[in-house]
Amino acid sequence: MALKQISSNKCFGGLQKVFEHDSVELNCKMKFAIYLPPKAETGKCPALYWLSGLTCTEQNFISKAGYHQAASEHGLVVIAPDTSPRGCNIKGEDESWDFGTGAGFYVDATEDPWKTNYRMYSYVTEELPQLINANFPVDPQRMSIFGHSMGGHGALICALKNPGKYKSVSAFAPICNPVLCPWGKKAFSGYLGTDQSKWKAYDATHLVKSYPGSQLDILIDQGKDDQFLSDGQLLPDNFIAACTEKKVPVVFRLQEGYDHSYYFIATFITDHIRHHAKYLNA
């Protein structure tokens, strides 16, 4: 599959690049960002996938998170896709910020008119890794995933639905129990229909209850002053309770004074890179 390079910038000895390609799953052109550390010049490196939150593109993480130095030091290739298909000319795709464009929710839609394009789950777990493995110096056996908010939800469900595929998972302020929060209800009813039993297949709190127990250490950072935490959009307590019951290891850190922004992410991103490097470089 042809890749078109959009940009390339030297950063901490490596290269931050953005590419465009025609996506089979999403039936549109998609962009993704990829950071190639200095180690990628001489051999294959582990791949770490970042999933961004609502309204984001592939640009938010690479310009705001400040992860490059840690990724360079630990020799990690970091991939950040866009958060939804774009320009599909679906009626209503640009009407709201929390559904449609910029809000793919990392599910495979089953409802018209979304099901033709909105297949972010398959894109992130299958098509994009195949593309990365075929075109860049990555070790396909060493792959991890993390994300923020909607992308934190995405990272958790990708890891929980694919035991053994990802060496590690972490999240910043993830939407932990979308079947019970306003964002999740809106997205899932639109993409997956009104049968709420089908929603559980994309809900981390429900998925962890049936997780088969392949080793997975989960790291979650949550800002205590996050407006979406107090608004009931994130519901981490439900997820923690389910993990505890299932004996799935999770480190949950409630960070005093921090909000939902990239300032919060930038503060703790090095911890997360280190968390993943421990498993990816083992």
**Which pLDDT score is estimated for 40?**
98
C-alpha span between 281 and 269 (Å, rounded): 18
Phi/psi at 14 (5° precision): -110, -165
C-alpha span between 175 and 105 (Å, rounded): 10
Average pLDDT over residues 250-279: 98
Distances (CA, A) of 224 to 19, 180, 230: 36, 20, 9
Q: What is the pLDDT of residues 90-129, one digit of tens each?
A: 999 999 999 999 999 999 999 999 999 999 999 999 999 9
C-alpha span between 130 and 209 (Å, rounded): 29
Measured from the Cβ of residue 12, the count of other Cβ atoms closer than 10 Å reads: 16
Whether 260 sits among the annotated catalytic residues: the reply is yes
Q: What is the pLDDT of residues 207-262, one digit of tens each?
A: 999 998 778 989 999 999 999 999 999 999 999 999 999 999 999 999 999 999 99
Q: What is the pLDDT of residues 143-180, one digit of tens each?
A: 999 999 999 999 999 999 999 999 999 999 999 999 99
Of 238, 181, 172, 173, which is closest to residue 204 (Cα–Cα)?
A: 238
**Which pLDDT score is estimated for 215?**
84
Whether 52 and 69 have beta carbons less than 8 Å apart is answered as: no
Of 214 and 132, the structure prediction assigns the larger pLDDT to: 132
C-alpha span between 257 and 264 (Å, rounded): 9
What is residue 95's three-state secondary structure? coil
Say which of 84, 149, 168, 170 is annotated catalytic: 149
Of 57, 59, 156, which is closest to residue 101 (Cα–Cα)?
A: 57
Residue 199: is its pLDDT beyond 80? yes
Whether 149 sits among the annotated catalytic residues: the reply is yes
Q: What is the pLDDT of residues 8-61, one digit of tens each?
A: 999 999 999 999 999 999 999 999 999 999 999 999 999 999 999 999 999 999
**Which pLDDT score is estimated for 214?**
76
Residue partners of 123: CB distance under 8 A and separation at least 6:
23, 25, 26, 30, 81
pLDDT category, 1, cuts 50, 70, 90? low
Say which of 226, 272, 275, 276 is annotated catalytic: 226
Say which of 74, 153, 260, 272 is annotated catalytic: 260
Residue-range domains of the chain with CATH:
2-279 (3.40.50.1820)
